[in-house]
Amino acid sequence: SDVCSSDLGIEIYVRYGVLYIKSDRERTLSIYDTAGHMVRQVEVQEGTTAVTGLGKGIYLLARKKILVQ
């Protein structure tokens, strides 16, 4: 699984097609496709939040490229 850390106080990783966001605080994050369209807005809690239902592909989140497969 890929782990992407960020200077925003979050860690992002994918396991078995599920995107996990580990955050140091509550926040709202937007997930974009590679064309720049927002595909999901996620209310992230402090701790780890699972994001399911994303199709396979490359997404942009918190200035990072994330591969969901």
- pLDDT (tens digit per residue) in 48-59: 999 999 999 999
Question: At residue 5, does pLDDT exceed 90?
Answer: no
Residues 16 and 8: their CA atoms lie apart, in Å, by 25
22 close to 50: Cβ distance less than 8 angstroms: no
Mean pLDDT of the chain: 90
DSSP class per residue in 20-50: EEEESS-EEEEEEETTS-EEEEEEEPSEEEE
**Residues 27-36: pLDDT tens digits?**
999 999 999 9
Residues 65 and 69: their CA atoms lie apart, in Å, by 13
Beta bridge partners of 10: 23
Distance of CA 55 to the CA centre of its chain: 13
Question: At residue 1, does pLDDT exceed 50?
Answer: no
Mean pLDDT of 3-26: 85
pTM comes to: 0.84
